[in-house]
Structures are given as C-alpha cells and as structure tokens.
Structure 1
Amino acid sequence: MSLLEEGRDVPLGRYTVVRRTLPNKARRTVGAWCFLDHFGPEDVTGKPGMRVPPHPHIGLQTVSWLLSGEVRHRDSLGSDQVIVPGQLNIMTSGRGIAHSENSPTAKPPLLHGLQLWVALPDSERHRAPGFQHIPDLPEVSDSGVKVTVAVGELEGAASPAEVHTELLGADIELAGSTEIRIRPDFEHAVVVTEGAATVDGADLTPGSLLYLGDNYDKVRLAGNARLFLLGGVPFEEELVMWWNFVGRSHEDIVEARDAWMAGSDRFGVVPGGEQPLPAPGMPTTRLKPRPRYR
C-alpha cells in the first residue's frame, strides 16, 4: 500500500536549505537507502552556492545526483572531482572518511539536485573507504520517457556504481504516461524533482516522497515531470543514525564522534585548508538502534 510523506526543510551548511524526505515519520529506509535530501532549484548568481566544509562519515555511501549546476567534491583520500548533471559521485565511507562539497567559484546560475545515503550492511561497514566517479551512465528511452540508471539495474540497463546491497536508483524524465517494470522483491519509493506526476494513482509534486512498498512488478507514471525512483531489498538491520554517522550502537557513534573531534587519523584530512565542521554534542539520552519502519 502506497504512503505519501511530506519532506521537511533542513539547513545544509551556511547557505543551502534542503527538503529531507527520508527518513520520515513512517519509514527510515527504502531498501538500504536511508537518507534523501532534495536541494534547489536555486539561483546562486552572486551567491556562494553550496558550502559544506569538511565533515566525517562512517557506515554509509553518499550518492550525489545533480539536475543543474556543479558541485566540487574533495575527500581525505585525495579525490577532487567536480560533478555535473548526468554524472554520478558515490563515496563509500566504510570505517571512516571526510569530505567537503562546495560550488566552484565559476559556477552555473542554477543549483538543483539530490544527496542520498545508502546504509552499508554490517559485513561491509568497516571496509576501507573509497570514491567512484561515473561520467557516463546507461539510459533507456521510449516514447515520452527517458530513464537514466544511476545505481543498480532497470529495464535491462545496469549502472557500474559499486554498491553492497541490491539497490535501484534511477532518474526518470517523463512527458506523457508509461509503465516501468520493477522487481517485486524490492520495496520502492518515488520523489518528484521537477513538475507534477501521477504515480500509481497518487498525485506527486516536489517536496514529498511516495512509498510504494513491495510486491509490485510495475509502476505507472503520468505527467510532465522529472522523478527519482528508489528501490532495494528491504534492509532488516537496525540502525543508529546520528549526525553524519550510521552505526549499530550508541558506542559506535560516541567512538566516531570522539575520533573526529580529536583529529584522529581514522578520518584523514580533506585538502584545501577549510576549517572542519565540529560535531554537535551528544544527546543526553542513549541512542537506540531503530528498525526500518516506525
């Protein structure tokens, strides 16, 4: 049964406000997708644009997807990569990494995109960190629809993005109506990033997430819109998500926070000389692992 959840506005850095649709009041994950921020479209002419100083991650992958603009990714592995629309940046934090995300000085006037996280399964969350930039992604086109497969496989097209659970992430440009075949063993959700669409009978505009559930072998779409389709095998591990960390226990989070604040080698140093972002204080109550639904 589908469920429509409204996003909420959250500041990102000093200059950007995002609409966070995952986690939400009903769901914490869709497959292993555990976080979805939609930012823009924003006219950044004469403005700094995105400014997110060096900060740490553990236990997850970051997936960066742009519809307009440019963002420069730098990390403690030495990666320095500007991403533009149609390309994918995917960073695996594993046991620990730090990165920054900034609009270049010479930048296009419009900034618009998605930032997503994928929870790493317990068997992979202590792995060495890594970074992958994919400039060319597979596309599937038909009358009135173009699908770009960012992560996973859809309609016979497979992304080269390295992930550690069975996942799907696909950008859909829609002008009309269509049906897209999906895996019934996956749970799925859809966000609209531009325009308006009807998804399996539900009207959807930017700012909300439609959770479709599982046991569907196709999704029906109609409208003039751009959408992002998420999917994956339901992620049954309970997670502790706090600040930029995904762990399994309160102790995981305390250990990571202390290491970051102490300047530990665990996270390394992001080149560029920016002042790292300090971690907030820990909550007064103990953090508890949570299941995928509320």
Structure 2
Amino acid sequence: MSNLELDPTPVVCSSGDDARGRVDILLPREVPLGGPRAMPVRRTLPQRDRSLIGAWCFLDHYGPEPVREGGGMSVPPHPHTGLQTVSWLFAGEIEHRDSAANHAFIRPGELNLMTAGSGISHSEVATSAAPVMHGVQLWLALPDAFRHTERGFEHYAPEPVSGDGYTLSVFLGGLGGSTSPVTTYSPLLGAELQLAAGRKVSFDVSPKFEHGILLDSGRLEVNGSPVAAGELAYLAPGDAAVEITAAADGPVRMLLIGGEPFGEDIVMWWNFVGRTHEEIVEFRAAWTGEIEPGAAPPDGAPRFGLPGDSGLRPLPAPALPNARLRPRQRDGGRRNS
C-alpha cells in the first residue's frame, strides 16, 4: 500500500523511551487514501509518541469497507525503498503486481511480503471476489546492512494453531509453537490471534522484544490493562510472557507484532525509508525521472521500474517540504494504563 497523503509528514524514527512494566495505548488517526471517495485507514504507526516497534515502522488498519465502483482499494504503481511491505487481510481480495514481475493475490489468512531493497514499485487493487475489504498493511524497516538487498516477494499461508478458546496464525517469526519460514532481516513477530468471549491466554515471548497488540474487533485486556477496538497496546522489552483476556460480551480478533528494538534512526517520507535527507531527495528524483513526461531519464537501469499490466497511471511523488527532514516532537498520541 502507498502512503497517499498529499503532504506526508517527514519522520525520523528511533526507538522510544523505556516503558518497562507499563502498557501504553497508542490511539489511531484517520487518513483518507487518495481523497474523500477513497478508502479511509486508521494509522497507529508512526505517530508522535512512538515511531517504531522493533522494525515495524508503519501500520494502517482499514475496513470493513464496501468494495464498489469508486471505492475500496485502488492504489496505482508507486515506489518503495529500504523496507518490506506486509499485507494481511481479514476479508476481501487484493491483486498485487510489482516491477520484479511478481503477480499475486492477497486473501484472508495469507501473507504477502514484498522486499523493496534499493527500489521497487507495485500496485494493489481490490477485486470483486468479495464485497468487503478489511485488513492491515504494515512496513518493516530494513537494517542498514540489508537495505540495499535484492528486491523480492514471498507468499505464505500459515497453518492456524488452535488451543483452548483461541486460534493463532503466525506469519512472521514464532509464537505458541508455530514458526514462519518467511525471510526477515531482524528478529520479528507477526501473528493474528482470535480469542473466544471471556477466554484468557498467555504466551511466552522473548524478553528482548517490544510488542504491539492491535485490536481489530471486540474488547480485551493486555496484562490487565483495557484495550478498545482500533487501539494499539505497546509493551516494552522485559516481560517473558504476555497475558490477553477477551471481554465476556464477545469474541476478539487482534494482530500481534514485535521485535528487538531496532537501534537505528531512519528517515521516512512518503513511501521511502532512508537514513538522510539527501537520500530521500535522491529517491524522489529517481522516481520522478522514471514516470514524468519530459523528466530527465535516470542514468543506467531504472531504480524502481514499473509493474506490467496494472492499467493505472503511476502515482507522482508529492512535493518535498521546504526544510530538511527532521524528527517530530514527542508529545500526545497515547494514554497510559
């Protein structure tokens, strides 16, 4: 998915303060993707108060949203650098095409993982196979040693693991005895958990990891702290287990993400992850040079390229801000439990 904001906020992302033993609740903000008729999303990463959870640097939560003419997801070809995109659906179907010649469909309970490396472009369009779109799109920052790796794509359908009142699908890393074989470049966790009404479950986790729990539906408690639908509960490193309890009035569905604190500052603007202002300027110029009529063509092979047969015009990059990309102020955006 692209960040379609016309005036994207530049962010320098770094690991947050030490909140050991505390559950912080990160509140979403609504972002319209492409204008008033396009699909709105609820964004919980990045925000002023916390920009990273492990290598997870971007989290959009959307739907249920009707798929209809002029609505749903229709994201034209757009570029990425220095990251992996993680697509996970609760309902619907999305057609993916990228400039590495990958063509695949994203369906509920199946992971699509695209590695941008030094540059890739892709498009994502909702199909008519289902009447509703509902899911999450996340980005993973690539560590400096791997951010220029080869671009690539992996598809994985995890076998759900069932226990007493719960169903767990692990698509990255390992949890609850289930492990994903998908390629990652830093220690990570990504999983969907469904929990029956009134049930409690406890999972052993790495005390080196920080974790986030995004509640999609229902009400629950994380380590005794209440979480409402759409909120992201943050847990700092230090705990060897996480306890999740569903409210008695209905089942819950959530996403669990985690990883070791990233330990590197990243500059993130529009769809690019880099390390400096100058890199972001270079990435934007390369994309503009590939897609705009009359623009200077790039020297040698194009950094990004274009996916074939998308039928959509490539998305132009927004104007850069009139100042160097600098960190956001750390205030607001959360409540402590």
Normalized against structure 2, the TM-score is what?
Answer: 0.83
**C-alpha separation between the residues in 2 aligned to 1:165 and 1:40?**
29
**Largest Rg, 1 or 2:** 2
Q: Is the 8 A contact 2:161 2:178 kept in 1?
A: yes
Paired residue for 1:235, among 233, 237, 262?
Answer: 262
- Structure 2 counterpart of 1:283: 321
Which residues of 2 match residues 205-244 of structure 1 at below 5 A?
205-223=228-246, 224-244=251-271
**C-alpha separation between the residues in 1 aligned to 2:159 and 2:60?**
23
Per-residue CA deviations over 1:56-109 (Å, capped at 9, x if unaligned) read 0000000000000001111001111111101000000000000011012x3211
**C-alpha separation between the residues in 2 aligned to 1:292 and 1:129?**
33
- Structure 2 counterpart of 1:39: 62
* Structure 1 residue 43: Cα displacement: 2.2
**C-alpha separation between the residues in 2 aligned to 1:292 and 1:145?**
36
Check 1:289–1:165 CA distance in 2 against 1; reply closer, same or farther (3 A cut).
farther
Q: Is the 8 A contact 1:55 1:98 kept in 2?
A: yes
1:274 maps to a residue whose letter is L
Paired residue for 2:287, among 257, 260, 285?
Answer: 260
Paired residue for 1:71, among 84, 94, 97?
Answer: 94
2:24 maps to a residue whose letter is L
- Structure 1 counterpart of 2:137: 115
Q: Which has the higher contact order (CA 8 A, sep 6+)?
A: 2
Q: Is the 8 A contact 1:32 1:120 kept in 2?
A: yes
1:187 maps to a residue whose letter is E
Between 55-64 and 257-266, report the one with greater CA deviation. Answer: 257-266
Q: Is the 8 A contact 1:248 1:289 kept in 2?
A: no
Question: Aligned pair count?
Answer: 292
Normalized against structure 1, the TM-score is what?
Answer: 0.95
Q: Which runs of 4+ in 1 moved over 3 A?
A: 45-48, 288-294
**C-alpha separation between the residues in 2 aligned to 1:124 and 1:251?**
19
**C-alpha separation between the residues in 2 aligned to 1:293 and 1:42?**
31
**C-alpha separation between the residues in 1 aligned to 2:57 and 2:141?**
6
**C-alpha separation between the residues in 2 aligned to 1:130 and 1:75?**
9
**C-alpha separation between the residues in 2 aligned to 1:25 and 1:202?**
22
Asked if 1:144 corresponds to 2:144, the answer is no
1:103 maps to a residue whose letter is A
Which residues of 2 match residues 79-118 of structure 1 at below 5 A?
79-104=102-127, 106-118=128-140
Check 1:48–1:261 CA distance in 2 against 1; reply closer, same or farther (3 A cut).
same
1:12 maps to a residue whose letter is L
**C-alpha separation between the residues in 1 aligned to 2:232 and 2:98?**
30
**C-alpha separation between the residues in 1 aligned to 2:230 and 2:31?**
12
Q: Give unmatched runs, 5+ long, in structure 2.
A: 1-21, 291-297, 333-337
CA-based RMSD: 1.8
* Structure 1 residue 37: Cα displacement: 0.3
Between 71-80 and 194-203, report the one with greater CA deviation. Answer: 194-203
**C-alpha separation between the residues in 2 aligned to 1:292 and 1:75?**
35
Paired residue for 1:251, among 248, 255, 278?
Answer: 278
1:155 maps to a residue whose letter is G
Q: Give unmatched runs, 5+ long, in structure 1.
A: none
Task: Give the 3-state SS of the residue equivalent to 1:283 in structure 2.
Answer: coil
**C-alpha separation between the residues in 2 aligned to 1:228 and 1:242?**
25
Which residues of 2 match residues 20-35 of structure 1 at below 5 A?
20-35=43-58
Per-residue CA deviations over 1:229-264 (Å, capped at 9, x if unaligned) read 111000010010000000000011000000000004
* Structure 1 residue 47: Cα displacement: 5.1
Per-residue CA deviations over 1:150-202 (Å, capped at 9, x if unaligned) read 11011221112111000000100011111111111101111011222111122
